[in-house]
Amino acid sequence: MKKILIIFLILVFTSISAWAKKVTIIVFHAGSLSVPFSKVEKVFKEKYPYIEVRRESSGSVQAIRKVTDLHKPCDVIAVADYTLIPKMLFPKYANYVKLFARNELVLCFTNTSKYANVINSQNWYKILARPDVKWGFSNPNDDPCGYRTVLAIGLASIYYKNYDILKTLIQKNTNITWQFSNKGIVFRVPKEVRFNPERLAIRPKSVALLGLLESGAIDYAFEYKSVALQHHLRFIKLPDAINLSSLKWKNFYKKAEVILGNGKHIYAKPIVYGIAVLKSAPHPKEAKLWEEFVTSKTGAEIFKACHQTPIYPAEVIYSK
């Protein structure tokens, strides 16, 4: 009887000890990483059961502002545009960024979208310009998918040699302005983006448009290809000169630039995601384990299964 009691007490103390050692890490990440990160988390917790992962999804710029402006505790940050980390977090909050995945911009729609049977990769901007069509993109000040949409529309005007695209899609529907430069086109996004709600929907992050699209509140939305495939949406594959996916077109992409409401200048470039453990991470050891798992071979396989092109091994850029 005494032996059984001793064994019971050992098991109780072991359980209490294991519970006491549980660590919760906080991960701020882009909305377009929600699906792959959810799958990564399940496998990660099998390997590290004592680590709880608390993920907060938002637009990438919003994710960074939670750290820099609101001073919220955070262990790991993962964004849809890796250059945001050097621009906004170096050197005070982070001293490196790992480049771990790619993506491309697409135009999503459903079977009930107006002109769903006639839209294609050549006439998409004409369809969006029709007065009975409503479309959407995310706020450029909050989300890379938003400013990438604006940049892609600028590139389309150059690629198709049709500057009416800018007038019919941007000028008539928003207070975003643009002008020509020696290199191409420069957009200026006001701190407060205004838009015509009868023709356009703008939300803080691109995935917030999915409900509007699926309910029929809007006909089209600019999203990442991985998001479209994950949610089984129909989409138009835009030309490589516009969709920001191709390294071959990187010099052409530079013809479009956007100045955000915070004064940051961003040139169009191939879409690359970045991840980093913050200097102020409450749990740096466990945070590093998460980051390393995301960028591991297993992580890369999960991203590939989620229709997102992994960069493996991840490329690292250090703060100077």
User: In this predicted model, what pLDDT tens digit does every residue of 242-287 receive, in sequence order?
Assistant: 999 999 999 999 999 999 999 999 999 999 999 999 999 999 999 9
Where would I find the beta strands (DSSP E) of 135-219?
Answer: 135-138, 177-180, 185-188, 200-203
The yes-or-no verdict on residue 4 having pLDDT over 70 is no
Note whether 228 and 145 are within 8 A (CB).
no
Predicted pLDDT of residue 13: 40
3-state DSSP assignment of residue 15: helix
- Among 20-24, 124-128, 256-260, the least confident range: 20-24
CA distances from 286 to 43, 49, 278 (A): 15, 11, 12
CA angle centred on 146, ends 118 and 148, rounded to 5°: 80
Torsion sign over Cα 283, 53, 75, 312: positive
Are 159 and 240 in a shared domain? Answer: yes
Residue 259 burial (C-beta neighbours within 10 Å; 0-12, 13-18, 19+):
middle
Are 261 and 115 in a shared domain? Answer: yes
Domain for residue 11, yes or no? no
3-state DSSP assignment of residue 258: strand
- The CATH number of the domain holding residue 286 is 3.40.190.10
Are 230 and 313 in a shared domain? Answer: no
Predicted pLDDT of residue 21: 81
User: b/e per residue, 61-100, with b = 16+ CB within 10 A?
Assistant: bbbbbbbeeeeeebbbbbbbbbbbbbebbbeebbbebbbb
Domain for residue 310, yes or no? yes
Domain for residue 13, yes or no? no
Domain for residue 18, yes or no? no
Predicted pLDDT of residue 15: 39
Are 161 and 301 in a shared domain? Answer: no
Domain for residue 3, yes or no? no
pLDDT digits (tens, 9 = 90+) for 53-108: 999 999 999 999 999 999 999 999 999 999 999 999 999 999 999 999 999 999 99
Q: What is the average pLDDT value for the chain, to the nearest integer?
A: 94
Domain boundary among 237, 252, 267: 267
Summarize the confidence of residues 104-118 as an average pLDDT. 98
Are 174 and 34 in a shared domain? Answer: no
The yes-or-no verdict on residue 16 having pLDDT over 50 is no
Domain boundary among 229, 252, 267: 267
Note whether 36 and 302 are within 8 A (CB).
yes
3-state DSSP assignment of residue 153: helix
Summarize the confidence of residues 152-157 as an average pLDDT. 98
Predicted pLDDT of residue 192: 98
Are 176 and 244 in a shared domain? Answer: yes
Q: How many domains does the chain have?
A: 2
Are 124 and 226 in a shared domain? Answer: yes
pLDDT digits (tens, 9 = 90+) for 189-241: 999 999 999 999 999 999 999 999 999 999 999 999 999 999 999 999 999 99
Are 290 and 257 in a shared domain? Answer: no
Q: Cis (ω within 30 of 0) for the bond into 91?
A: yes
Domain for residue 296, yes or no? yes
Domain for residue 2, yes or no? no
| The token pair that represents 113 in the structure block | 């979208």
Domain for residue 232, yes or no? yes
Are 170 and 38 in a shared domain? Answer: no
Are 188 and 234 in a shared domain? Answer: yes
Are 223 and 112 in a shared domain? Answer: yes
Local confidence band at 320 (pLDDT 50, 70, 90 cut-offs): confident
Are 90 and 202 in a shared domain? Answer: no
Full domain range(s) for residue 314: 23-102+272-318
Domain boundary among 251, 267, 283: 267
Q: Distance between CA 138 and CA 144 in Å, rounded?
A: 8
pTM: 0.92
CA angle centred on 245, ends 191 and 221, rounded to 5°: 55
